Structures are given as C-alpha cells and as structure tokens.
C-alpha cells in the first residue's frame, strides 16, 4: 500500500523532536478526554495558561495542541468576552457508543467479564508456550512489533491481533473462538484506542515479555504475564468508567 503523507504530518515530521512529543501527548490526552466523554459537549476548556500549568508544559505547546484539536473538529474557539475554547463532542457513532457502553457498564459485570477473559487468555498463553513451534513464535514476534509506536485504532487492533495469535498458537480452535467472542464483547472497550502513548509503550513491553516467555516454553510465566497485562487493562477501564460517572 502506498502511504500518503499529509501536509500536517509532513510539518510535524520536521518539528523539533521534543516539542513534537509534547504537543502530541497533550493532544492525545485531550482527544481521549473528549472522545470518551470525560469532557462534555459544549464544556469550556480551562485557559491556555491553566492547561499549561496542569500538563506541565509551555503555553506554546498547549496552543499547538488546541490547533490540532480544532483541525479535528473537537474544539471550537470563540472570541470575545464569553470566548474561549469549547468542546465539540464527536458525532461519530463509534465513539458515542463506547461512551454509552462504558457508562452503562457496572463494575460487577466488568469484573466478571474480566475474570472470563483472564481465564481464556491466561490458559491460551500457557498452552501457547507448550505448543509453539519456531514458526508460531515468529508470527507472535511480528504481532508484537505491530504495537510498537502504534496509537489509536491501530494500537487497539494490534492488541486484539496479538491475543488472537496467542490463542491460535495454543493450537486450540475453542480457545480461539472464545478469544474472538470476548474481543467482540469486551475487546473493543478493553483495548480502547485511547491514544495514550504511555499505555501503549507499556503494552508493547508487556507483549514482548509474553512472547519471550512463550519462546522459552515457560508456560507459567506466559500465563502470569498475560493475566497481569489484562488486569491492568481492566483496571484502566474501571477508572474510565468511574470518571464518566462523576457529575
């Protein structure tokens, strides 16, 4: 596939590195907060100076992040006495349905779903360690690398694909079916494209460790690492859910 590079991406490519990282990090945080509904539609954002203070970055960085958000249509800036930056919640149905699902979910159900997923994915990881040939390990390594530097939907797809490959490496069609089913039920939420670079970097390191344990045929380690990886995602989801409930 030929990749087209937009003008925006082009100029970002040549911006000083550290600044790029910070602008992107601030942008991602705000995109998350808006798409997940943590910031409500029409809500006024704090001033540039306040945001800069909260994020611990310069006002220039915040200003650039707001430009990016305006370009994505997630923020509207009004001038005048009642002016400022206002949230424009995305109208796209996918984001709206996540918000709805996250809000309506109870921690009780979340824990139960999490337990089920933990049982399936943990067992799959242990069996994958017992049964993976060199060829399977190679495919797991490729799937692991997909998450390196990935963000947004690309990252959530890489997450789901990695766990699918582990279930397949376990040589179990039934566990693979369960994995696919649970991904359908939970995965879209569990691996939400939150765009948080820190989370994805951790997840990449975790996938690397799981793959290594499978390559070493260490079933117990592969299972434990997988369970920890999923528990962390469940916890994050519980936090997001609680955040949405706040008045």
Partner 1 sequence: MKDTRTLVGDDVADHVSALVEGVFTGLDPVLSQADALFAGADRSGVRAEQLERLRPEVLRTLGGHDGLVVGAGFIAAPNVLADQEFGFEWWTRTDGGRPTQLFISLDPASDHFLDYTRQSWFTVPRDTGHRHITGPYVDYLCTDEYTMTFTVPVRANGAFAGVVGADVFVREFEHLLQPRLRGLPGRAALVNAQGRVIVSNSARQPTGSLVRALDIPAWWGSGAEPVAEPGTTLRRCGDAPIALLVSGNRS
> Residues in the site for partner 1, rule: CB under 8 A?
1, 130-131, 133-135, 139, 142, 153, 156-157, 161, 164, 167-168, 170-173, 176-177, 180
In the complex with partner 1, which residue's Cβ is closer, 79 or 93?
A: 93
Q: Identify the bridge partners of residue 134 per DSSP, sorted by sequence position.
A: none
Torsion angle of the four alpha carbons 154, 16, 71, 100, in this order, in degrees rounded to the nearest 10: 40
In the complex with partner 1, which residue's Cβ is closer, 63 or 177?
A: 177
- Other CB atoms closer than 10 Å to residue 30's CB: what's the count? 26
In the complex with partner 1, which residue's Cβ is closer, 117 or 191?
A: 191
Q: What stretches of 183-218 show up as alpha helix (H) in DSSP?
A: 188-190, 197-215
Question: HSE on the CB side for 94, CA within 13 Å?
Answer: 6
In the complex with partner 1, which residue's Cβ is closer, 26 or 166?
A: 166
In the complex with partner 1, which residue's Cβ is closer, 9 or 40?
A: 9
Least spacing, CB of residue 38 vs partner 1, in Å = 23
Q: Are residues 185 and 114 in contact, defined by beta-carbon separation less than 8 angstroms?
A: no
Least spacing, CB of residue 172 vs partner 1, in Å = 7
Least spacing, CB of residue 217 vs partner 1, in Å = 9
Least spacing, CB of residue 176 vs partner 1, in Å = 5
Phi, psi of 8 (to 5 degrees): -60, -50
Q: Are residues 31 and 72 in contact, defined by beta-carbon separation less than 8 angstroms?
A: yes
Least spacing, CB of residue 148 vs partner 1, in Å = 16
Of 153, 233, 137, 231, the C-alpha closest to 145 is 137
């Amino acid at each position: 596939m030929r990749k087209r590079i937009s003008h925006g991406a082009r100029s970002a490519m040549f911006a000083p590195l550290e600044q790029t990282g910070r602008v992107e990090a601030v942008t991602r945080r705000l995109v998350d907060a808006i798409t997940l509904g943590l910031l409500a539609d029409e809500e006024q954002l704090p001033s540039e100076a306040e945001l800069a203070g909260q994020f611990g970055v310069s006002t220039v960085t915040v200003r650039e992040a707001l430009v990016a958000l305006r370009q994505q249509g997630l923020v509207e800036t009004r001038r005048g006495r009642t002016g400022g930056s206002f949230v424009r919640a995305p109208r796209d149905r996918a984001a709206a349905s996540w918000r709805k699902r996250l809000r309506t979910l109870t921690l009780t159900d979340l824990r139960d779903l999490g337990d089920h997923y933990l049982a399936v994915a943990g067992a799959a990881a242990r069996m994958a360690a017992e049964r993976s040939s060199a060829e399977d390990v190679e495919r797991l390594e490729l799937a692991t690398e997909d998450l390196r530097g990935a963000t947004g939907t690309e990252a959530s797809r890489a997450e789901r694909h990695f766990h699918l490959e582990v279930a397949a490496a376990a040589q179990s069609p039934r566990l693979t079916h369960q994995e696919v089913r649970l991904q359908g039920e939970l995965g879209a939420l569990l691996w939400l494209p939150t765009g948080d670079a820190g989370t994805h970097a951790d997840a990449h390191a975790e996938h690397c460790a799981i793959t290594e344990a499978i390559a070493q045929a260490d079933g117990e380690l592969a299972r434990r690492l997988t369970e920890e990886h999923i528990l962390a995602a469940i916890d994050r989801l519980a936090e997001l859910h609680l955040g949405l409930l706040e008045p």
